[in-house]
Amino acid sequence: MKTSIATVSISGDLREKIAAIAAAGFDGVEIFENDLLAFDGTPADIGRMVRDHGLALTLFQPFRDFEGMPEPQRSRTFDRAERKFDLMEDLGADLVLVCSNVSPAALGGIDRAADDFRELGERAAKRNLRVCYEALAWGRHVNDHRDAWEIVRRADHPNVGLALDSFHTLSRKLDPDSIRSIPADKIFIVQLADAPQMDMDLLYWSRHYRNMPGEGDLPVPEFMQAVASTGFDGYISLEIFNDQFRAGSPRAIALDGWRSLVNLMDTVRRREPELAISLPAMPPRIEAKGVAFVEFTANETEASELAGLFRGLGFAKAGQHISKDVTLWRQPGADSSGVNLIINTEREGFAHAAYSVHGTSVCAFGLTVADAQATIERAQALGAQSYQQAVGPKELQIPAIRGVGGGLIYFLDETTELAKVWDVEFTPVNAGDTPPKPAGLSGIDHLAQTMNYEEMLSWLLFYTSIFATGKTPMVDVVDPGGLVRSQAIENENGSLRITLNGAENRRTLAGRFIAESFGSAVQHIAFASEDIFATAKALSENGMAPLEISRNYYDDLEARFGLEPEFAERLRENGIMYDRDENGGEYFQLYSPNYGEGFFFEMVERRGGYSGYGANNAQFRIAAQKRQLPPKTIPKL
């Protein structure tokens, strides 16, 4: 597999773009004409810069409004083409992209267009250059790759081929299997882009909302399966127009692009193993069974506060690390597969470094996976950064990678000694004379990670490329200070759920959390309750008062869902929020008070197959949480 990306796909000046593309691991780069025009050196300088970074110059683009023009415009298009060829020779590029004509002056007719391309091929051949033709989804006469291929076929020139672009095919809902009959040697380059499914003008959709394969909703794997079936072995390139990416980090976006291509081609190879796809071996996407533990970093004073909060939630101290200032907390009577919380007060190492930056916070969490070593291998193959910390006698080396906000994700499996970590590294302790009342929390329903909105697509791709998970549709969470975008990553049976919440400004509760905690992180943990009313009772007996929700919310709830007054009153008395889906599935939510800079716990119960996250309740929950903030810390609206 040979990878490439267009310079239009990422931010920065051309020097920054080339450096980022090379650092990400691409083999080649497309030079977009606007980047060349804005560059303060010569085309030859650009060519040298590309080659000095170890990259091939895969394509120069675009050449617009060429085929089917009447005279005198037709003659002028060939004059323009010769100027482009001069430029390509200076660059050291041998392939130019011609996109289908959108000019009102363009004349239709496949034979007329084929004649133009045959002549263009002759002119290109004299300079050892090649031309590829792309059907724009909004082309005036040609907007279908099948028509573009027919023009190339009739032109019948060795220096004229086809450029296939997934967006132009899939946005028009064309059948990608029609590509399978195209000879591989006539496909000169393949350009890929995904996009969220939207009903809007094709040109506007394309220019603002394209994203990396796997980040959107288009069937890009099916498109690439069709291309690969032809035997095509040329450059697979990304051409991404996205306002968000234009404001992002060039290196981060370039790495996302490279990761998306590797993940895409791995998917294609596994769907059709008989296809000849050159790609380094890697394990398949990893089955993650759920969250094994969550680790907090704190100093001694705040660790005591956290411990009090844990006790209120029904957790008891269950173990002390054999050599570190690390304690294990667990629901009394629960085994290690239930809910494990860790408080780390070490004064050196990763957790201490995280505390120095973020204060008391979640610095890591662990996932139970089928094979921890395979997880690390796949993550590394996709560009994730692995992590190892020095271990002492009798301690286990637990595989880990860097995740959101630089936090760690550890991997435990059930087939190695990692499954025994709680017995190996922790000494059991007595819960005390008055252990808290168990709250019936059976596991972690979901982790909620808060980040800047610009990061969401990167982390969505991160999770879905490494783990066997899917993504839910994005929803808007209404905060009195603005909108927060939310999207969940889930495995098939719902044992792993991670919600990504993207803040667009610091006036929202999520934005304030990022600003005050100095970065993206886990903002809340949702525990699964076996009986939400029994949980509420246990929390009350443990001395924890729930988040106070407005009485008006419950009055509306009763009317909206037709609840029995006694049931609605029971919800209100216990501070429990309620939602119901169209199939009758029910969702119950109970919140702890805020801790620190907006961190909180949630207890949820799902009934009847409810699969959402109570987005309808978020606005009212956030309003209640903001009322709890000290007046001086409430962001100005």
Is 56 a residue whose pLDDT tops 90?
yes
As given in the structure block, the two tokens for residue 238 are 């990304």
69 vs 466: CA distance, rounded Å: 49
Dist CA 11 CA 250 (whole Å): 5
524 is in an annotated binding site: yes
What's the CA gap between 171 and 223, in Å, rounded? 12
446 is in an annotated binding site: yes
Position 389 pLDDT exceeds 90: no
For the stretch 533-574, pLDDT in tens is 999 999 999 999 999 999 999 999 999 999 999 999 999 999
Instruction: Give the C-alpha separation, 252 to 208, whole Å.
Output: 19
Query: What pLDDT does residue 578 have?
Result: 98
For residues 408 and 387, is the Cβ–Cβ distance under 8 A?
yes
The token pair at 316 is 């008891």
pLDDT of residue 498: 98
Give the bridge partners for 56, in sequence order.
Answer: 28
Confidence of residue 414 (pLDDT cuts 50, 70, 90): confident
pLDDT of residue 426: 96
pLDDT exceeds cutoff 90 at 629: no
pLDDT of residue 294: 98
Q: How far apart are CA 66 and CA 133, in angstroms?
A: 10
pLDDT tens column, 368-388: 999 999 999 999 999 999 999
The two structure tokens encoding residue 459: 């982390």
Which residue matches tokens 């394990």? 283
569 is known to lie in a ligand binding site: no
pLDDT of 415 > 90? The answer is no
Q: What percent of the chain has pLDDT over 90?
A: 90
- CA-wise closest residue to 187 among 224, 219, 220: 224
**pLDDT given at position 333:** 72
> Cβ(614)–Cβ(571) under 8 Å?
no
Report the residue count for the chain: 637
> Which tens digit of pLDDT belongs to each residue from 33-53?
999 999 999 999 999 999 999
pLDDT at 636: 47
| Interval 589-606 mean pLDDT | 94
> pLDDT at residue 226 above 80?
yes
Residue 596 and residue 525 in contact, taking contact as beta carbons nearer than 8 Å: no
Structural domains of the chain in order of their starting residue, each with its CATH number: 2-271 (3.20.20.150), 288-428 (3.10.180.10), 441-633 (3.10.180.10)
Are 507 and 636 within 8 A, CB to CB? yes
Give 63-97 pLDDT, tens digit per residue: 999 999 999 999 999 999 999 999 999 999 999 99
- Checking if the pLDDT of 637 tops 60, the result is no
The pLDDT mean for the chain works out to 95
260, 213 contact by CB (below 8 A): yes
CA dihedral (295, 370, 386, 397) in degrees, to 10, reads 70
The annotation status of 157 as a binding-site residue, yes or no, is no
Give the start-end residues of each E strand in 126-201.
Answer: 130-134, 160-165, 187-192
136-176 residue pLDDT tens: 999 999 999 999 999 999 999 999 999 999 999 999 999 99
276 compared with 502, residue with greater pLDDT: 502
Residue 385 assigned as binding residue: no
- Residue 635's pLDDT is 45
- Between 615-628 and 509-517, two packed helices, what is the crossing angle to 10 degrees? 60
Distances (CA, A) of 25 to 61, 223, 259, 452, 458: 22, 23, 9, 26, 17
Is 16 within 8 Å of 250 (Cβ atoms)?
yes
Whether pLDDT at 335 is above 70: yes
Percent of the chain with pLDDT over 70: 98
Q: What is the pLDDT of residue 431?
A: 65
pLDDT at 207 over 70: yes
For residues 178-204, average pLDDT: 96
Give pLDDT tens digits for 241-264.
Answer: 999 898 889 999 999 999 999 999
614: alpha, beta or left? (left if phi > 0; alpha if psi -120 to 50): left
- Going through 396-440 in order, the beta strands assigned E by DSSP cover 400-402, 408-413, 426-428
Q: Which two tokens stand for residue 371?
A: 């094979």
> Residue range 503-518: average pLDDT?
92
Two structure tokens written together for 270: 């596994």
Write out pLDDT tens, residues 550-561.
999 999 999 999
Q: What is residue 631's predicted lDDT score, i.e. its pLDDT?
A: 61
Tokens 């996932």 identify what position?
Answer: 367
Mean pLDDT of 192-202: 95
Q: Position 58: which residue type?
A: T
The answer to whether the annotation marks 134 as part of a ligand binding site is: yes
